[in-house]
Structure 1
Amino acid sequence: MILTVAWIVPLLGAVALAAFPRWSEARARLWAAVMAALSLLALVVAWVGFDPAGPLFQHVDELQWVPSIGVAYRVGVDGIALAVATMSALLFVAAIVYPVDTLGQPRQYYAWLLFLQAVSLGVFLTLDLLLFYVFFDLTLVGMFFLIGRWGHGTPQVSALKFFLYTFAGSLLLLLAIIGLYLSIEPHSFDMRVLIERQPLAGTGLYAGLVFLALMLGFAIKTPLVPLHTWLPQAHVDAPGPASAILAGVLLKMGTYGMIRLPFAMMQETFAEYSLTIAIVALVAILYGALVALGQSNLKRRIAYTSINHMGYTVLGIAVAAAFFADNQAARQLALTGATVEMVAHGLITGALFLICGSFWQRTGDYELDHYGGLAHRAPLLTGFTVLAAFASLGMPGLAGFVAEFQVFAGTFAVYPWLAVLGVLGILITAALFLDMLRRLFFGRLPSHLGGFSELKRAEWGVLGVLSLGILVIGVAPQFLLTLIEASSALLVGVR
């Protein structure tokens, strides 16, 4: 019941905002924050009640819906889903509380954010393939309106490109889900049954086509090169909090989907193509870092680092899928690292995009060359940006290092040459973030920035919470690793 509460509460909050027209800015924001926080609290309760030594899926709720075709309302979590869902709920609270110009429509803005939270959590919590697709598709609707109505630049164009591109991926996903559904007798959309029975094991071309459709659909959402072209402009034109959700939550649906569907349900097929997927991930790591280094637009630079970091996640998943390798401990380590990377990237890049929103609210400008010397003018802003940047480039003691160390340690045991080449991505990432910090905060302060203001209370409060999460995971990650390792061990066959 607790998982149902987690996604239903924000949906009810969105309905209340949509149904009753008289909401002031402050009341709408407070209402949305309370609903989002209650959802987060429900997931924290589920975390506390999760037994790492127990079965793979826990807190299961099931209600028959259309039994004749095997559809039911099913929710439940393993450690991987629970970690990503809890991070997502926290990021939604941060995005709602963070100041933003709602353009005189606070009720609609916060209603769409709560709707997006509800369906996003549904993706991570459902155990029914058809419901997974429904939630997965509905996330496009919420983000489409947040970008198109409250964005800047050419928001309608960016929102349309985002929607059409990612909807094409969703249609591929639907075809693959139908293929999985028809592959089992009696037909069922129950993820637990498909994971247990592996119905497409050794079925040749049919399995290959289903796997290809799944991976293409999730690769667009992640996104992987060359299916990434929708992402940079969507980020640049989206409001800061929406960008934080896009990078911190929606991109994770691609990598989470890879773990939950092809990795868990098609183990033999994924093992066959694991090296190919790992090479594609390496391309994303290097390409994302190199292209980010060449960007003069702050938001576009951070957007390309997301492609780089999602490459690390996909690399870990591909290594974990290499079932021909004898080193099960290394594959488990890679899968655990991939999951920690999803959580760490959500917190880190979520904070960076919220910081971008603060820059836009003050200047309406993302060009790095138009800044400089802000370290004395805004020391809090400087401190939070430095922390997030160093976490993103993988400095020890911060969340990014914990994730990347596990991914590369696991990769080195299975595909050592990929690990060696992938480390170059970290070097380039360090260069691009140090260059960004230099251009934003050091040197001479331009005259037009003389009135640049320090972070407001709500801004530094939100960034403080996210930064605390980054530090805690970096210094004492055991609470997170214990949760994830239990599920990753079961998925790779260690226990």
Structure 2
Amino acid sequence: MLSIIFFLLLFGILHVMFIPRENQTQLKLTALQWSLTTLTATIVLWVTFDGEGQFQGLKIIEWIPTIVGIWSSGTVVFAVDGISVFFLILTAILIPICILISWNSIKFLLKEFLLCLLVLEILLMGVFLILDLLLFYILFEGILIPMFLIIGVWGSREEKVLASYYFFFYTLIGSVLMLLGIFMLYSNTGTTDYQTLCGLKLNGDVQKWVFMGFFVSLAIKIPKIPFHIWLPLAHVEAPVAGSVMLAGVLLKLGGYGFIRFSWPLFPEASEYFAPLIQTLSLFAIIYASLTTCRQVDFKRIIAYSSVAHMGLVTLGIFTHTIQGLVSAIFLMLAHGFVSSALFIIVTLLYERHHTRLVKYYRGITITMPIFSIIMLLMILANIAVPLSCNFVGEFLSLLAAFEYSFIVGGLASLGIILGAAYSLYLYNRVCFGNSSNFIFFSRDLNRREFYALFPLIFLVYLTGVYPSVLIDTIKSSVIFQETHTYQLWGA
């Protein structure tokens, strides 16, 4: 199935490349069909997953013969487990939604835009499947290129080029430290193969230095305060597809990297730095929530709320408990659904009224009732109302935090209160009251816009009502990973 997924994406890219750029409808339909086919393949991969926790579906590719001893076998290994399989599905869901929601908003270079989305998808699939640290770094950095183009070329406002460079150089410079860590790891072990490294005991000092290189790179990507400066500007200037992919998947690369590498490869360093990271996580939750309360731009509100939610994710990860790790993965998936839907909702208002300033909106419920209902469902999910997926993720994360430290759990709970404050105020300000004098001719959602939002709404409340559909598979892989680490280190 891994081979089928990659071949489907490659065929889709080639098919779009050979369609004349004048046939815009055919370009959009072709890209949508191939992305939906890829989504079907990833769902089949999940259905055939046996849920035992180990890596499955190993695909070994004879790539390059030995180069200075890095790949002694000359092979590249792709595999999937219960941690990565849902990130594959999340990526595959969001790409067709991005195509649908951008159907009429991309006015120039449509062919190149669709190719950027499909290339971004195949690179993200590779990141979640690769089992070699050096190749993980290459794919991790390769994602910057299509995202740089999406923000810089198809961005919506004057500062789009500045935002694209902020995004590119922040993440590129931070990732150089990861590359140095990988080189240091290779010089001490002679390999960059993930499965081999998981079976080796590293010196404590080596662990700390390599961990710091990985931490800075992944903290920028997640993003963690004080490495978050690029995020609000990138979100505000990006087109809707760029905002959806940034919030939905790219922010999750940092959390995925922490779960995949920090504890299995550097357990001593993870324990050593856990208090510092917990402190930064609490600061992110409280500071980002307070900053969100004073924003006046729709997209900045959602962008800063994402920083707060990702702080709760790292809080769960570095409790180093099964419960905390499961909650972090579940919360990342939940945030991928909810924040993506909120960015789409904001863009639908912007396309109608050409402003993202909250003060110009009021009484949207009168003219856009369907839109108002959908926005209410997503706002409630964003504040973790029971029966939504965010409730499950945040409840488990706070439970793990309270078990780690009562003070940590209590401070983290402030984020829930502040989140409810800015979310409910935003909805009340936009949707209720008399109609604004600045807003005219509001039309409700059309079918295309509703179809783009419906899968996200359905998944948010399906996984909230029936979370075991995700948790059982996630837990089996987390337990397998933790058990292997404990056995190796004699803990």
Give distance in 2, aligned partners of 1:453 and 1:236. Answer: 24
1:337-364 deviations in Å (ceiling 9; x for gaps): 0000110000000101111221121122
- 1:180 aligns to what? 185
Question: Displacement, 1:204?
Answer: 3.3
SS in 2 for 1:274: helix
- 2:273 aligns to what? 273
- 1:324 aligns to what? none
Give distance in 2, aligned partners of 1:350 and 1:7. Answer: 24
Q: Does 1:113 align with 2:103?
A: no
Question: Displacement, 1:452?
Answer: 1.3
Give distance in 2, aligned partners of 1:213 and 1:8. Answer: 34
SS in 2 for 1:287: helix
Matches within 5 A, 1:286-297: 286-297=286-297
1:365-414 deviations in Å (ceiling 9; x for gaps): 10000111001211111111111111111111001001011111112112
* Match for residue 171 of structure 2 among 166, 169, 178: 166
- 1:61 aligns to what? 59
SS in 1 for 2:318: helix
Give distance in 2, aligned partners of 1:476 and 1:270. Answer: 32
- 1:416 aligns to what? 406
1:217-260 deviations in Å (ceiling 9; x for gaps): 00000000000000001000111121011111000011101111
- 2:86 aligns to what? 83
* Match for residue 470 of structure 1 among 448, 455, 460: 460
Q: Does 1:146 align with 2:150?
A: yes
Give distance in 2, aligned partners of 1:271 and 1:64. Answer: 37
Question: Do 1:319 and 1:415's aligned partners in 2 also have CA atoms closer than 8 Å?
Answer: no
SS in 1 for 2:438: helix
Question: Displacement, 1:7?
Answer: 3.5
Question: Do 1:83 and 1:483's aligned partners in 2 also have CA atoms closer than 8 Å?
Answer: no
Give distance in 2, aligned partners of 1:456 and 1:389. Answer: 21
Question: Do 1:241 and 1:353's aligned partners in 2 also have CA atoms closer than 8 Å?
Answer: no
Give distance in 2, aligned partners of 1:435 and 1:212. Answer: 39
One-letter amino acid of the structure 2 residue matched with residue 141 of structure 1: I
SS in 2 for 1:74: strand
- 2:384 aligns to what? 394
Question: Do 2:78 and 2:130's aligned partners in 1 also have CA atoms closer than 8 Å?
Answer: yes
* TM-score, normalised by the number of residues in structure 1: 0.94
Question: Displacement, 1:67?
Answer: 4.5
SS in 2 for 1:62: strand
Question: Displacement, 1:100?
Answer: 4.3
Deviates more, 1:174-183 or 1:116-125: 174-183
One-letter amino acid of the structure 2 residue matched with residue 82 of structure 1: V
- 1:380 aligns to what? 370
Give distance in 1, aligned partners of 2:337 and 2:432. Answer: 25
Matches within 5 A, 1:99-110: 99-110=103-114
1:105-162 deviations in Å (ceiling 9; x for gaps): 2211111111111111111111121221111111111111111111122111111111
- 1:326 aligns to what? none
SS in 1 for 2:199: helix
SS in 2 for 1:319: coil
Q: Structure 1 residues 316, 100: CA separation in 2 closer, same or farther (over 3 Å shift)?
A: farther
Give distance in 1, aligned partners of 2:408 and 2:170. Answer: 29
Question: Do 1:79 and 1:486's aligned partners in 2 also have CA atoms closer than 8 Å?
Answer: yes
Question: Do 1:23 and 1:107's aligned partners in 2 also have CA atoms closer than 8 Å?
Answer: no
One-letter amino acid of the structure 1 residue matched with residue 279 of structure 2: I
One-letter amino acid of the structure 1 residue matched with residue 173 of structure 2: A
Q: Does 1:31 align with 2:21?
A: no
Matches within 5 A, 1:17-416: 17-53=16-52, 55-68=53-66, 69-70=70-71, 72-98=75-101, 99-153=103-157, 154-184=159-189, 187-197=190-200, 199-200=201-202, 203-320=203-320, 331-416=321-406
Give distance in 2, aligned partners of 1:166 and 1:306. Answer: 17
Give distance in 1, aligned partners of 2:156 and 2:150. Answer: 11
Q: Structure 1 residues 249, 486: CA separation in 2 closer, same or farther (over 3 Å shift)?
A: same
1:19-41 deviations in Å (ceiling 9; x for gaps): 44335222111111111112212
One-letter amino acid of the structure 2 residue matched with residue 433 of structure 1: S
Question: Do 1:100 and 1:357's aligned partners in 2 also have CA atoms closer than 8 Å?
Answer: no
Question: Do 2:316 and 2:397's aligned partners in 1 also have CA atoms closer than 8 Å?
Answer: yes
Deviates more, 1:225-234 or 1:170-179: 170-179
One-letter amino acid of the structure 2 residue matched with residue 148 of structure 1: G
Question: Do 2:360 and 2:436's aligned partners in 1 also have CA atoms closer than 8 Å?
Answer: yes
Give distance in 2, aligned partners of 1:418 and 1:386. Answer: 30
* TM-score, normalised by the number of residues in structure 2: 0.94
* Match for residue 486 of structure 1 among 460, 470, 476: 476
- 1:443 aligns to what? 433
One-letter amino acid of the structure 1 residue matched with residue 34 of structure 2: M
Question: Do 1:24 and 1:106's aligned partners in 2 also have CA atoms closer than 8 Å?
Answer: no
Give distance in 2, aligned partners of 1:172 and 1:287. Answer: 26
Give distance in 2, aligned partners of 1:398 and 1:179. Answer: 43
Give distance in 2, aligned partners of 1:142 and 1:368. Answer: 31
SS in 2 for 1:449: coil
1:52-98 deviations in Å (ceiling 9; x for gaps): 22x52111111232352215321111101111221121111211121
Deviates more, 1:77-86 or 1:419-428: 77-86
SS in 1 for 2:59: strand
